[in-house]
């Protein structure tokens, strides 16, 4: 049996990180604030990439639980920027159409966030949050937080579009292609 | 003498972090700092853009760099998230020629190296500013014990943000001392608040907020002090108060405003989710005995 290294090669090339230098000291996993909630721990993910476990890695909850806090990377004795690997894995999961497999709500939240910027140039919290609730139907869990913030009188109800909105639209067309990158609605 | 900066407010300045924005401008006015908002800025992409597309996460802040680079002024950024995203984009533009070419095409600009991107903290901690602060201090915060919360974006990746020690930073503690308060030594100052995972996984965010607050209480703190609109909201909103008291999280500029005795400060407290007024009574009593 031969090991399929194509996945590992692709991840290494895209993230610019060398997986082979990991000796599993577990510093990344020990320091990660979310690792106790992850199905695959950060160091396991590195190992599974090397073993060519493409589908298990790209369908994992863990890649969406990573909040890019960068604790793992700055503590890695071999200077592997694990958050850059996580960025790469999330992009690959979206491209493969796996993004909704494990953590649909997280992906929908991020998609609504970037959609809000695309529309207005800036984040408009109220419409972003309503958009997220409408898509995820996660209303019971989300509404109290939204109302708590709304009650403080800090959130403007109506969005304002920046002057360069057309330029932002072109920026999105070049940097974030909807086709093939945004996961299809299931 | 007034000191001028180009200024990037960030989206939370007009929403969840409104009390940060109001207190920042009040303090800047009092210390003679003029913040000139860059024209037609856009959202830096937050954590979300990077999560779905690394390129988008760099292109959005690159457009703001394009807006600020032709001025002779340093760019001041109050929100650590925006600061981090902008520094990341600047790092890519300066050190990765391939990415630079790609970003220049996407954002329709020519990158000119040399823009000095500063976090608002750095500006207040400059020797001249600390001197001005010392001279303007009317109401030293004696007796108040403050746990400075740095979070992630302000200190990591240290090679990109250039804010010094990323495991045990103390620059906010220096500011706390300059205000006459006591900075407590504690272990959770750079632990992540859970960021936007709070919006989809509230229980996890509550667990994280509770242990950060527990760490501050254990160290004897009366309050936390933060500077990120997301951290501050997460810490105040997600802590459950189960088995421990609730601690308010001040923006550092709010505590500066109290020490400078700025009259506008009473507008800020109602915007908090954890009422900070009982904590401020420690000051009215003239500190601890």
Instruction: Show the CA angle centred on residue A10, arms to residues A9 and A14, nearest 5°.
Output: 115
The pLDDT of residue B288 is: 64
Alpha carbon of A176 to those of A57, A72, B40, B67, B108: distances in Å? Answer: 23, 27, 21, 21, 15
Contacts of B48 in chain A (CB under 8 A): 109-110, 113-114
Q: Give the list of residues 6+ apart from residue A170 with CB closer than 8 angstroms, or none.
A: B108
For residue A1, name the pLDDT band (cuts at 50, 70, 90): confident
Assess whether pLDDT exceeds 70 at residue A84.
yes
Q: What would the mean pLDDT of A81-85 be, rounded to a whole number?
A: 97
pLDDT in tens, A32-79: 999 999 999 999 999 999 999 999 999 999 999 999 999 999 999 999
Assess whether pLDDT exceeds 70 at residue A182.
no
Would you give the end-to-end CA distance of chain A in angstroms?
36
Structure-block tokens of residue A105: 């709500």
Of B53, B108, B197, the CB nearest to A176: B53
Domains plus CATH for chain A? 6-95 (1.10.1060.10), 103-181 (no CATH)
CA distance B163 to A19: 28
Query: What number of CA atoms fall less than 13 Å from residue A67's CA on the CB side?
Result: 26
Of A69, A123, A145, the CB nearest to B199: A145
Query: Is the Cβ pair A117, B196 closer than 8 Å?
Result: no
Query: Is the Cβ pair B52, A114 closer than 8 Å?
Result: yes
Q: What percent of chain A has pLDDT over 70?
A: 95
Of A67, A73, A105, the CB nearest to B47: A67
Scanning every residue of chain A, which has its alpha carbon at the shortest distance from the alpha carbon of B50?
A87
pLDDT in tens, A134-173: 999 998 888 998 899 999 989 999 999 999 999 999 999 9
Contacts of A125 in chain B (CB under 8 A): 11, 15-16
Contacts of A171 in chain B (CB under 8 A): 59-60, 63, 106-107
The pLDDT of residue A179 is: 42
The pLDDT of residue A184 is: 44
The pLDDT of residue B257 is: 98
Structure-block tokens of residue A16: 């610019």
Contacts of B56 in chain A (CB under 8 A): 114, 172, 175-176
pLDDT in tens, B40-59: 999 999 999 999 999 999 99
Domains plus CATH for chain B? 3-120 (1.20.1050.140), 139-284 (3.40.50.11810)
Scanning every residue of chain B, which has its alpha carbon at the shortest distance from the alpha carbon of A34?
B194
Contacts of A94 in chain B (CB under 8 A): 52
The pLDDT of residue B80 is: 97
Query: Is the Cβ pair A149, B233 closer than 8 Å?
Result: yes
- Look over chain A and give the mean of its residue pLDDT values, rounded to a whole number: 93
Query: Is the Cβ pair B273, A138 closer than 8 Å?
Result: no
Of B56, B191, B198, the CB nearest to A176: B56
Contacts of B108 in chain A (CB under 8 A): 167, 170
**CA-wise closest residue to B254 among B32, B10, B19:** B19
CA distance A48 to B127: 50
Query: Is the Cβ pair B199, A142 closer than 8 Å?
Result: yes
Of B42, B192, B271, the CB nearest to A122: B42
Q: Confirm if B220 and B145 have CB atoms less than 8 A apart.
A: yes
Alpha carbon of B178 to those of B56, B173, B272: distances in Å? Answer: 40, 9, 24
Query: Is the Cβ pair A123, B195 closer than 8 Å?
Result: no
Scanning every residue of chain A, which has its alpha carbon at the shortest distance from the alpha carbon of B67?
A164
Residue B6: strand pairing partners: B36, B75
The pLDDT of residue A140 is: 85
Q: Find tokens 């958050």 and name the residue.
A: A83
- Where chain B has pLDDT below 50, the residues are 289
Structure-block tokens of residue A100: 């909704």
Q: What would the mean pLDDT of A117-142 be, rounded to a whole number?
A: 94
For the stretch B103-135, what's the b/e string if a residue is b when 16 or more beta carbons lie within 10 angstroms of its beta carbon? beebbebebeeebebbbbbbbbbeeebeebbee
Q: Confirm if A100 and A62 have CB atoms less than 8 A apart.
A: no
The pLDDT of residue A185 is: 43
């Amino acid at each position: 049996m031969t090991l399929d290294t194509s996945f590992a090669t692709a991840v290494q090339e895209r993230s610019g990180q060398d997986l082979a230098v990991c000796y599993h000291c577990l510093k990344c996993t020990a320091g990660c604030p979310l690792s106790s909630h992850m199905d695959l721990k950060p160091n396991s993910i590195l190992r599974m990439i090397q073993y060519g476990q493409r589908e298990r890695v790209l369908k994992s909850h863990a890649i969406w639980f990573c909040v890019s806090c960068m604790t793992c990377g700055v503590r890695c004795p071999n200077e592997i920027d694990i958050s850059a690997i996580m960025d790469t894995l999330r992009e690959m999961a979206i491209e493969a159409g796996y993004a909704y497999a494990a953590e649909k709500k997280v992906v929908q939240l991020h998609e609504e966030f970037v959609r809000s910027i695309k529309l207005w140039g800036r984040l408009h919290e109220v419409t972003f949050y309503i958009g997220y609730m409408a898509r995820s139907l996660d209303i019971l869990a989300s509404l109290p937080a939204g109302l708590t913030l709304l009650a403080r009188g800090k959130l403007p109800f109506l969005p304002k579009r920046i002057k360069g909105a057309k330029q932002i639209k072109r920026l999105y067309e070049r940097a974030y292609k909807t086709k093939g990158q945004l996961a299809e609605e299931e | 003498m007034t000191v001028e900066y180009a200024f990037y407010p960030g989206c939370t300045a007009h929403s969840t972090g409104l009390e940060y924005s109001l207190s920042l401008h009040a303090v800047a006015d009092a210390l003679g700092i003029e913040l000139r908002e860059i024209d037609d800025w856009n959202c830096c992409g937050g954590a979300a853009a990077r999560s779905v597309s690394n390129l988008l996460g760099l292109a959005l802040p690159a457009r703001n760099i394009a807006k600020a680079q032709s001025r002779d002024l340093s760019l001041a950024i109050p929100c650590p998230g925006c600061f981090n995203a902008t520094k990341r984009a600047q790092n890519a533009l300066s050190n990765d020629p391939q990415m630079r070419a790609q970003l220049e095409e996407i954002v329709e600009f020519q990158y000119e190296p040399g823009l000095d991107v500063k976090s608002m903290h750095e500006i207040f901690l400059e020797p001249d500013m600390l001197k001005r602060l010392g001279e303007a201090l009317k109401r030293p915060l004696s007796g108040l014990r403050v746990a400075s919360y740095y979070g992630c974006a302000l200190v990591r990746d240290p090679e990109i943000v250039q804010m010094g020690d990323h495991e045990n930073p103390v620059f906010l503690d220096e500011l706390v001392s300059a205000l006459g308060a006591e900075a407590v030594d504690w272990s959770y100052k750079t632990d992540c608040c859970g960021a936007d995972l709070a919006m989809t996984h509230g229980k996890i965010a509550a667990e994280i907020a509770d242990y950060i607050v527990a760490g501050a209480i254990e160290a004897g703190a009366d309050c936390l002090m933060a500077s990120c609109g997301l951290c501050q909201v997460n810490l105040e909103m997600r802590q459950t108060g189960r088995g421990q008291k609730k601690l308010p999280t001040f923006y550092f500029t709010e505590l500066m405003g109290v020490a400078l005795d700025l009259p506008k400060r009473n507008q800020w407290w109602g915007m908090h989710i954890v009422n900070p007024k009982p904590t401020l009574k420690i000051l009215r009593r003239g500190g601890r005995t």
